[in-house]
Amino acid sequence: MNRKMLILALTLLGFFISVGFKKSEATIALENVTKQFHQEMENMASAALRLRQVAEQLDGSTAKTLALQDAVAQVRLTFKKGEFLYAYLDPQFVRKSLNGAPLPSLVPNVPSIIVIEPSGLQVLDELAFGENPNESKAEIVKLAEKFERDFQELHDFQKTNKLTHRHVFEAIQQQLIRSFTLGVTGFDTPGSANAIPEAKAAFEGMYAAFKNYMPLLEEKDRGLAIVMDARMENTLQYLTENDEFESFDRLGFLMKHIEPQYQLFFEIHKALGIEFAEETDKSPRAVNSHATGLFDPNFLNAGYFANIDLKEPLFEKRKELGRTLFFDPILSKNIQRSCASCHQPEKAFTDGKPKSLASDGKGTVQRNSPTLLNAVYADQYFWDLREPRLDRQMMHVVMSKEEFGTTYVEIIDKLKQSEAYRQLFAEAYPDQPQYQLSTYTISDALSAYVASLTSLDSPFDRYVRGEIGQLDPAVKRGFNLFMGKAACGTCHFAPVFNGTVPPTYDDSESEVLGITATADTLHPVLDTDLGRFANGMPSNNADFMKTSFKTVTVRNVELTAPYMHNGAFKTLEEVVDFYNRGGGKGLKLDVPHQTLPFDELKLTRAEQNDLVAFMKSLTGDVSKFEAPTSLPVFKNNPTWNERKVGGNY
């Protein structure tokens, strides 16, 4: 072998050894994460055993009560260290059995009402840190035994599960969302208010996993590795030094820790060459894997919720067709009412009435007209959550005698009489010649328009994203109250501030608030609307669903008065006062299944004003949502051409 060939051979050998070494580092990183995960599960099993044993020894003494509270706190802290993987790998089981909200739920997709009683760590937290845990000893022991069994089931299943690099990074991404939206808000700790130490434990767990990737990252991008390492240490120090629930600066935590780290983990995900979800599974997801933060305008994927491909080349034409239909009263039987009659752009797509006017202009429909801005970000629609599909909302309006009072057959027959409309449908749906003007295309076009009604450009959003440098101190205080002491953020989840549950945002909640018929808190009377219980879906016909209503967004709420499904409250100040008093039950009304905590929040008048200031800071620019200047012409029906854009308000 000559000298040149020898040098080439040695060079190639060095290259292959180098490549092999890199692969080995990646393999070692994943193996170490797997070992850590298995060790955390062992630790969790031991903590669960201790909890059950301590619960069985509860005897009413202060010492045994404190021991129980310590055992619950320890099992929760241990759980938090592995939660990012537990909840990512088996989200439904974790939510239903290990750490779900302390509220009853229903078995889905069955023909009868089967109630699932709450269990898991949140229920144990509430009982152990309640007024008298000993009175609940039997229930606590039962729950502790169930938790031990349930976790063992998860342990047995997960120890055979094979992790991938993508699993680890997506789990960390979800945990960042979870720690802010469900962790530091107190959602996870309804009894102990031990939210901040638990957030620290969660960060310790995911940081320990990520540090296994540091050697790889240092090789790919040393600067990124140095910044990430410093960020991680800084966050742990911050959570150690600021562990009081009420005084915790959630806005500072969001801007200095959550948002920067979310972006860093995204950049590291790319730098390490780890595939993203859409590269292995084309199914749409609620959270955009390429978003750089919770307040990134593209954080949530409107197309997922609307079941529409927003990248479809014809989407813009369909959206514009939907906008025209939305403002055209030709859809109603009397050609006087349009969707915009009750959803007016200047009022954030509400109508400013306690209950919307009926089509006759005299009576009213059953409820208040909710905003359509950001309404797409939900998995169920209407105040009573009776419709799981956005494209079928229109059907309810069409068939309601108080609203459009017509049929799709009549609507299609009218639209076909317009050459202009026929052309618009042909351009928007050229791939469906047999169904260009049909129930499907009408509903789809309207859905495309509603999906485009997103408003994530408020002063608060721009401040969090660093687009503006100043924010009223009252707004900052209000946000910290909203996400902390006032507990608003435990139902109105960031960043949309509605009831769509993080971190996967694939389920929308409703709440029983005990809403009164009027704003009179001196002589309160409970509103009689049964809400979700009477929505026509047999699966919702459970007692705890009575007077349960959708948790709608508080974005743009400054423009959407009056408030609640019945328009009972004229001002935001009245709304805050109602919550501050503990809802209907706090006003001594009979609300047996109220999900809102009925003890007083004890907010001062100044604190209530700060909350209102924050909510007003979520007002976006509605001027960009313009109605069309004219409507399509009907040559054979000239009187129809006199119809008003938007119909009669």
Q: What is the rounded distance in angstroms from the CA atom of residue 474 to the CA atom of residue 303?
A: 35
Least confident of 3-17, 240-254, 354-368, 432-446: 3-17
Give the pLDDT mean for 222-243.
Answer: 97
Q: Are 490 and 186 in contact (CB under 8 A)?
A: yes
Confidence at residue 167, expressed as pLDDT on a 0 to 100 scale: 97
Q: What is the rounded distance in angstroms from the CA atom of residue 231 to the CA atom of residue 264?
A: 9
The answer on 466 and 394 residing in a single domain is no
Whether residue 299 lies inside any domain: the answer is no
The answer on 570 and 487 residing in a single domain is yes
Q: What is the rounded distance in angstroms from the CA atom of residue 646 to the CA atom of residue 614?
A: 32
Q: Which residues contact 412 (CB under 8 A, 6 or more apart)?
A: 437, 438, 439, 442
Task: Tokens for 201, please give them.
Answer: 């434990």
* DSSP E strand stretches across 424-564: 510-512, 548-550
C-alpha separations of 594 from 103, 570, 589, 623 in Å? 10, 23, 10, 38
The DSSP bridge pattern shows strands 115-116 and 105-106 to be antiparallel
Decide if pLDDT at 16 tops 50: no
Confidence at residue 649, expressed as pLDDT on a 0 to 100 scale: 72
Task: Give the pLDDT confidence of 27-80 residue by residue, as tens digits.
Answer: 999 999 999 999 999 999 999 999 999 999 999 999 999 999 999 999 999 999
Using a pLDDT cut of 70, give the percent of the chain over it. Answer: 96
Decide if pLDDT at 534 tops 50: yes
Decide if pLDDT at 17 tops 70: no
User: Could you give the angle at which helices 315-326 and 419-428 cross, rounded to 10 degrees?
Assistant: 150
Task: Give the pLDDT confidence of 455-501 residue by residue, as tens digits.
Answer: 999 999 999 999 999 999 999 999 999 999 999 999 999 999 999 99
The answer on 48 and 183 residing in a single domain is yes
Choose the final residue of a domain: 409, 437, 454: 454
The answer on 486 and 340 residing in a single domain is no
Whether residue 594 lies inside any domain: the answer is yes
Q: What is the rounded distance in angstroms from the CA atom of residue 571 to the CA atom of residue 567?
A: 10
DSSP classification of residue 390:
G
Q: What is the rounded distance in angstroms from the CA atom of residue 500 to the CA atom of residue 554?
A: 12
Choose the final residue of a domain: 403, 420, 454: 454
Q: What is the rounded distance in angstroms from the CA atom of residue 498 to the CA atom of residue 490?
A: 10
Greater confidence (262 vs 159) lies with: 262
The answer on 408 and 350 residing in a single domain is yes
Asked whether the bond before 345 is cis by omega within 30 degrees of 0, the reply is no
Decide if pLDDT at 276 tops 90: yes
Mean pLDDT score across all residues of the chain:
94
Decide if pLDDT at 105 tops 90: no
Choose the final residue of a domain: 283, 315, 339: 283
Closest CA to 123 of 51, 38, 45: 51
C-alpha dihedral (365, 526, 496, 442), degrees to nearest 10: -20
The helix/strand/coil state of 351 is coil
Q: What is the rounded distance in angstroms from the CA atom of residue 411 to the CA atom of residue 417?
A: 10
Confidence at residue 23, expressed as pLDDT on a 0 to 100 scale: 59
Q: Are 265 and 258 in contact (CB under 8 A)?
A: no
How many C-beta neighbours within 10 Å does residue 419 have?
A: 13
Decide if pLDDT at 13 tops 50: no
The answer on 556 and 432 residing in a single domain is no
Decide if pLDDT at 340 tops 90: yes
pLDDT band at 229 (very low <50, low <70, confident <90, very high): very high
Q: Are 208 and 34 in contact (CB under 8 A)?
A: no
Q: What is the rounded distance in angstroms from the CA atom of residue 565 to the CA atom of residue 498?
A: 15
Q: Are 44 and 151 in contact (CB under 8 A)?
A: yes
Decide if pLDDT at 14 tops 60: no
pLDDT band at 8 (very low <50, low <70, confident <90, very high): low
Give the pLDDT mean for 586-606.
Answer: 95
Q: Is 626 exposed, middle or buried (0-12, 13-18, 19+ CB in 10 A)?
A: exposed
Rg (CA), the chain: 27
C-alpha dihedral (403, 407, 410, 416), degrees to nearest 10: 90
Whether residue 428 lies inside any domain: the answer is yes
Confidence at residue 5, expressed as pLDDT on a 0 to 100 scale: 57
Question: What are 647's strand-pairing partners?
Answer: 337
Q: What is the rounded distance in angstroms from the CA atom of residue 42 to the CA atom of residue 37?
A: 9
The helix/strand/coil state of 454 is coil
The answer on 480 and 590 residing in a single domain is yes
Decide if pLDDT at 290 tops 60: yes
Q: Are 343 and 365 in contact (CB under 8 A)?
A: no
Confidence at residue 501, expressed as pLDDT on a 0 to 100 scale: 97
Decide if pLDDT at 536 tops 50: yes
Least confident of 103-112, 128-137, 355-364, 423-432: 103-112
> What residue numbers bound the domain in which 196 lies?
21-283
Q: What is the rounded distance in angstroms from the CA atom of residue 523 to the CA atom of residue 154?
A: 51
Decide if pLDDT at 1 tops 60: no
Confidence at residue 185, expressed as pLDDT on a 0 to 100 scale: 98
Task: Tokens for 156, please give them.
Answer: 């047995």
The answer on 393 and 277 residing in a single domain is no
Query: Which position has the token pair 């029983």?
Result: 512
Q: Are 83 and 202 in contact (CB under 8 A)?
A: yes
The answer on 313 and 274 residing in a single domain is no
Confidence at residue 25, expressed as pLDDT on a 0 to 100 scale: 87
Task: Give the pLDDT confidence of 563-584 residue by residue, as tens digits.
Answer: 999 999 999 999 999 999 999 9
User: Could you give the angle at which helices 62-89 and 3-56 cross, rounded to 10 degrees?
Assistant: 140
* DSSP E strand stretches across 125-199: none
Whether residue 16 lies inside any domain: the answer is no
Q: What CATH number does residue 223 fall under?
A: 1.20.1420.20
Whether residue 32 lies inside any domain: the answer is yes
Backbone angles phi, psi at 290, to 5 degrees: -105, 10
Whether residue 13 lies inside any domain: the answer is no
Backbone angles phi, psi at 205, to 5 degrees: -65, -50
The answer on 450 and 425 residing in a single domain is yes
The answer on 216 and 123 residing in a single domain is yes
Asked whether the bond before 503 is cis by omega within 30 degrees of 0, the reply is yes
pLDDT band at 22 (very low <50, low <70, confident <90, very high): very low
How many C-beta neighbours within 10 Å does residue 56 have?
A: 13
Confidence at residue 283, expressed as pLDDT on a 0 to 100 scale: 87
The helix/strand/coil state of 387 is strand
Q: What is the rounded distance in angstroms from the CA atom of residue 359 to the CA atom of residue 341?
A: 10
Task: Tokens for 473, please give them.
Answer: 């101190």
Give the pLDDT mean for 374-403.
Answer: 95
Using a pLDDT cut of 90, give the percent of the chain over it. Answer: 89
Q: What is the rounded distance in angstroms from the CA atom of residue 304 to the CA atom of residue 289?
A: 13
Backbone angles phi, psi at 458, to 5 degrees: -70, 165
Decide if pLDDT at 18 tops 50: no
What is the 3-state composition of the chain as percent helix, strand, coil, each rounded to the nearest 5? 55, 5, 40
The answer on 366 and 327 residing in a single domain is yes
**pTM, whole model, 2 decimals?**
0.94
Whether residue 2 lies inside any domain: the answer is no
Q: Are 364 and 342 in contact (CB under 8 A)?
A: no
Domain count, the chain: 3
Whether residue 297 lies inside any domain: the answer is no
Confidence at residue 9, expressed as pLDDT on a 0 to 100 scale: 52
Q: What CATH number does residue 327 fall under?
A: 1.10.760.10
Task: Give the pLDDT confidence of 159-178 residue by residue, as tens digits.
Answer: 898 999 999 999 999 999 99
Backbone angles phi, psi at 103, to 5 degrees: -135, 150
C-alpha separations of 291 from 16, 136, 287, 372, 466 in Å? 36, 45, 8, 23, 16
Q: What is the rounded distance in angstroms from the CA atom of residue 599 to the CA atom of residue 581?
A: 7
Which ranges constitute the DSSP H helices of 159-185? 165-178
Q: Are 512 and 591 in contact (CB under 8 A)?
A: yes
